[in-house]
Copies of this chain bind each other. A is one copy, B any other.
């Protein structure tokens, strides 16, 4: 609350956020997070604000948002002119992607499940899986 100017080296930030050192530097180069101050030795000096931003990015990434979308969400979080609609637009887009991917994977799962079911799993060379992969349905 007061003027506690706590600053952290990259290693401490990595430990606090669970984002790897290399990834933090990568985010900086990719323009996702702003470059922090530097000490006399050239070391990056992060403030608590940086740590919070990195946590924001981490949560976005855990939801599968691209770095582009993550950057957009981050600037919306900063902007005073943002509208709730803009934010939910990005979220909806991601939700649709996720649902499409689930549908894809469920199709794959069905086929693979059947493969495993019909396969005798023995030591003979005859295999229904190979047959299925070898000719069109």
* Residue A48, interface by CB 8 Å: no
A54 to chain B, nearest CB (A): 12
A96: nearest chain-B partner, CB-CB: B112
List, in ascending order, chain B residues with CB within 8 A of A99's CB: 109
Given contacts A63-B108, A84-B120, A88-B115, 15 further A-B contacts (CB under 8 A): A55-B136, A56-B134, A73-B130, A80-B125, A83-B122, A85-B122, A85-B123, A88-B119, A88-B121, A91-B129, A95-B109, A95-B112, A95-B113, A95-B116, A98-B108
The chain A residues found within 8 Å of chain B, CB to CB, are: 52, 55-56, 59-60, 62-64, 73, 76-77, 79-85, 87-88, 91-92, 94-95, 98-99, 101-102, 105-106, 108-109, 111-113, 115-116, 119-127, 129-130, 132-134, 136
